Amino acid sequence: MIKRRLYSPGPTPIPPDARQAMSADIDYHRSAEASEAVKECARLLKTAFQTASDVAVFASSGTGGMECALVNCFSAGDPVLAVRSGKFGARWVEMAQAYSLDVQPLEAEWGDSVDPAAVEAALNARPETKGVLATLCETSTGALHDIRALGEIARRRNVLLIVDAVSALGADEMRMDEWGVDALVSCSHKGLMTPPGVGLCALSGRAAEASKNANLPRYYFDYAKNAARFAKGSPPFTPAISLVYGLRASLETMMSAGGMEASWARHARLASAMRAAAAALNLRLFPRVPSNALTAFRAPDGIDSQAFVERLRQNHGAVFVGGQDALKGLLIRVAHLGWMDDFDIVSAAAALERGLSDEGYRFSPGSAVEAAQRSLLNS
Amino acid sequence: MIKRRLYSPGPTPIPPDARQAMSADIDYHRSAEASEAVKECARLLKTAFQTASDVAVFASSGTGGMECALVNCFSAGDPVLAVRSGKFGARWVEMAQAYSLDVQPLEAEWGDSVDPAAVEAALNARPETKGVLATLCETSTGALHDIRALGEIARRRNVLLIVDAVSALGADEMRMDEWGVDALVSCSHKGLMTPPGVGLCALSGRAAEASKNANLPRYYFDYAKNAARFAKGSPPFTPAISLVYGLRASLETMMSAGGMEASWARHARLASAMRAAAAALNLRLFPRVPSNALTAFRAPDGIDSQAFVERLRQNHGAVFVGGQDALKGLLIRVAHLGWMDDFDIVSAAAALERGLSDEGYRFSPGSAVEAAQRSLLNS
């Protein structure tokens, strides 16, 4: 009788239409019907990315989408700047090193968001820099970055802005073309409400132009080939066709519920309620500027967050996650991402209370639930 | 009332246990349960590959598995020999070129299988060659290659033997360790009876050793990191977890039905029956040495194979495939791969008769069905 409730920042719950689409008999990916589904998915992804560019769709994780951005935009030895304020910023640095880019990490405290002025200063100090690698939501800390401001800087200086929006696409405002983002990366299993297995990457016209001279080797993650052929319904390699059917259905659900602006607004509302719940329990929000994809707060003194989330999952079915790398044991993270509604947030608050109560943490029972519900009814 | 029957050489039909496994609520991939499933899947894959090495499991297509083999085994400029006797041999050449290997194509007629003596001669002519890129079943022609013989040559000369077994793993005998294969590549959606989206690659001890000095850049497709962590139930990046659950269930089905030898024997039996059906209709088998994964034969004069398979699919639901690249319009290919039994083959023969009858091709009605059934009852 333990019901599992998924509040992890990926994978996230799947809407019924998508589940149904994925449970159909498996289809031959070159049939006329599958080709139509592929094309429609590609078309909807342009709206999700807020871009006129074609989106490349890979059988891969989000990391594969990141790799697509790097190998198509740069050449070995290119100087790039990578914002590192958590595990996923660190991944940009590692990946750039693996591809022999001349990467300069720009450190920000974990939990902090990089100051755009610091990016500008770093570019001043190294004017030959060709690209900035950034993260919309640093999932390891829950921090949101000001991509719009970074876009302005990148445009002024004519450097490529590469953005990992793996966890926050659909949750936080993200306007690829309008903000001047040159490579935008995401995946299926976070805000896009589909199981893991599809990585996504779109390039701006400038990035696509730059890719013609970028000499890093690429084959599987070749943007031009994948994006153009996906848009025509004829992927270069076998797509994860069942997941593509699911993704199409989830995108249709999202678009019929008001599209991206409605999705951003809904996530903002749910995130506010979750933050209110945490505040009511005197829990300290970790990021200075929180993303609406997830809420990360410090575990109370004396509570190991990894043990806490493991017990909560085992005993009560609610799947929160702990901290990563340097934050192991210290952070509790609760995602409100994708296929989530008001009552899910009230349940998350209830689960949080239950878990803390089991640990002997002192608080007024019902206070988090009440705070969440008050926030939701008032917004 | 048109029932779809999938005889494409990937994707292939999915057994009920795997469908059920994949229809479960999506799980957090770092939970204890998911970690166990990942570990068990990794363990079963070693049997499927007939190797003591760990198998790397990627969210990718089979092509991603091929890329894993290349980028982990070689350095830019390395001289390699690639057997090219169809579209997938050609893919090895293209990919090796994309990664700046010094690749020498060894041509064999499409439909033919490379003569091991020709490989030996090519190695004599270029003794500095570091690797041979080969294909177990060249899916575009249905031809089987003698990997055991290539393994003997590769061992004698101390070159790495890289084998694409994307379509034939489970269908044709393939003993990675015993035959001395250094990198074996496959995927989820052919003989392993799971939807597309999982690419696989195992390296021999020698290849893993060579990979330490191989300087091609790699991150997503890094073998050592992926294989070791998958074996421990803790993949480096988010795995396609629903597909991994499906793959585990399909592998369990395969193992409980007698394992790899039983699977090879079953495919041999089904393939014989399908070839008997084609022969009864006076259709000319295309490959000189056919794989047991699929049967490829020439379309009768005056019948365009692409139009033929499209009409058969539209009107009768049976999904055969036509030819690829140079063989477009010329070949009809029928897979008997994965979750297939005797009655599926009789149905395939019936569909073939129906399609040819619709085209006005002359034959004795029932002859293919009878030949298939006779072959099955006698074997």
Taking CA atoms, A289 is separated from A110, A133, A149, B67, in Å, by 12, 19, 14, 40
Give A378→chain B minimum CA distance, Å.
32
**Chain B contact set for A29 (CB, 8 A):** 11, 196
Give B26→chain A minimum CA distance, Å.
7
Residue B141 has pLDDT above 90, yes or no: yes
- Per-residue confidence (pLDDT) for residue B27, from 0 to 100: 87
Closest partner CB to B196 (pick from A32, A98, A240): A240
**Chain A contact set for B23 (CB, 8 A):** 19, 23
Give B378→chain A minimum CA distance, Å.
32
Residue ranges of E strands in chain B: 5-6, 55-59, 79-84, 102-107, 131-135, 137-138, 143-144, 160-164, 183-187, 198-203, 294-298, 318-319, 331-335
Q: How many CB atoms lie within 10 A of CB A301?
A: 6
| Cβ distance of B59 and A196 shorter than 8 Å | yes
Residue A166 has pLDDT above 90, yes or no: yes
Q: What is the pLDDT of residues A109-155, one digit of tens each?
A: 999 999 999 999 999 999 999 999 999 999 999 999 999 999 999 99
Q: Touching check for A243 and chain B: CB below 8 Å?
A: yes
Residue A27 has pLDDT above 90, yes or no: no
| Cβ distance of B238 and A67 shorter than 8 Å | no
| Cβ distance of A219 and B99 shorter than 8 Å | yes
pLDDT over 90 percentage in chain B: 99
| Cβ distance of A28 and B6 shorter than 8 Å | yes
Q: What is the pLDDT of residues A69-114, one digit of tens each?
A: 999 999 999 999 999 999 999 999 999 999 999 999 999 999 999 9
Q: Touching check for A61 and chain B: CB below 8 Å?
A: yes
Closest partner CB to A31 (pick from B29, B95, B313): B313
Q: Touching check for B7 and chain A: CB below 8 Å?
A: no
Q: Is B153 exposed, middle or buried (0-12, 13-18, 19+ CB in 10 A)?
A: middle
Give B63→chain A minimum CA distance, Å.
7
- Per-residue confidence (pLDDT) for residue A91, from 0 to 100: 98
Distance of CA B117 to the CA centre of its chain: 24
The pLDDT confidence band at residue A52, using thresholds 50, 70 and 90, is very high
Q: What is the pLDDT of residues A264-305, one digit of tens each?
A: 999 999 999 999 999 999 999 999 999 999 999 999 999 999
| Cβ distance of B60 and A62 shorter than 8 Å | no
CB B235 within 8 A of CB B229: yes
Q: How many CB atoms lie within 10 A of CB A177?
A: 17
The set of residues, in sequence order, having a beta carbon less than 8 Å from that of A187 and lying 6+ positions away, is A10, A60, A61, A62, A65, A166, A196, A198, A199, A200, B238
What is residue B132's three-state secondary structure?
strand
Nearest to B219 by CA among A336, A316, A98: A98
| Cβ distance of B240 and A64 shorter than 8 Å | no
Closest partner CB to B59 (pick from A12, A22, A64): A64
Q: What is the CA radius of gyration of chain B?
A: 21
Nearest to B260 by CA among B352, B316, B184: B184
Whole-angstrom distance, CA of residue A176 vs CA of residue A199? 17
The DSSP annotation for A232-245 comes to TT--SS---HHHHH
- Per-residue confidence (pLDDT) for residue B166, from 0 to 100: 97
Whole-angstrom distance, CA of residue A196 vs CA of residue A165? 15
**Chain B contact set for A32 (CB, 8 A):** 310
DSSP assignment, residue A322?
-
| Cβ distance of B243 and A241 shorter than 8 Å | no
Q: What is the pLDDT of residues B224-280, one digit of tens each?
A: 999 999 999 999 999 999 999 999 999 999 999 999 999 999 999 999 999 999 999
Could you tell me which chain B residue has the CA closest to the CA of A220?
Answer: B64
Q: Which of the residues B8, B60, B63, B194 would you substitute to probe the A interface, choosing the one with the greatest number of A C-beta atoms within 10 Å?
A: B60
| Cβ distance of A242 and B195 shorter than 8 Å | yes
> Which amino acid is it at B351?
A
| Cβ distance of A10 and B63 shorter than 8 Å | no
Could you tell me which chain A residue has the CA closest to the CA of B320?
Answer: A28
**Chain A contact set for B199 (CB, 8 A):** 59
Q: What's the pTM?
A: 0.97
CB B55 within 8 A of CB B200: yes
Residues of chain B numbered 198-227 and touching chain A (CB < 8 Å): 198-199, 216-222
Q: Which of the residues A35, A60, A223 would you substitute to probe the B interface, choosing the one with the greatest number of B C-beta atoms within 10 Å?
A: A60
Q: What is the mean pLDDT of residues B41-46?
A: 98
Q: Touching check for B195 and chain A: CB below 8 Å?
A: yes
What is residue A86's three-state secondary structure?
coil
What is residue B84's three-state secondary structure?
strand
**Chain A contact set for B8 (CB, 8 A):** 28, 30
For B320, phi and psi rounded to 5 degrees? -95, 170
Closest partner CB to B217 (pick from A28, A58, A100): A100
Residues of chain B numbered 94-153 and touching chain A (CB < 8 Å): 94-95, 98-100
**Residues A159, A161, A163, CA angle at the centre, nearest 5°?**
165
Pairing, β B331-335 against β B294-298: antiparallel
User: Whole-angstrom distance between the N-terminal and C-terminal Cα of chain A?
Assistant: 34
The set of residues, in sequence order, having a beta carbon less than 8 Å from that of B121 and lying 6+ positions away, is none
The pLDDT confidence band at residue A368, using thresholds 50, 70 and 90, is very high
Q: Touching check for B62 and chain A: CB below 8 Å?
A: yes
Q: What is the pLDDT of residues B190-205, one digit of tens each?
A: 999 999 999 999 999 9
Could you tell me which chain A residue has the CA closest to the CA of B65?
Answer: A220
Q: Touching check for A59 and chain B: CB below 8 Å?
A: yes
**Chain A contact set for B22 (CB, 8 A):** 22, 242
DSSP assignment, residue B26?
P
Size of the A and B interface in Cβ pairs below 8 Å: 175
| Cβ distance of A238 and B10 shorter than 8 Å | yes
Task: Provide the mean pLDDT of chain A.
Answer: 97
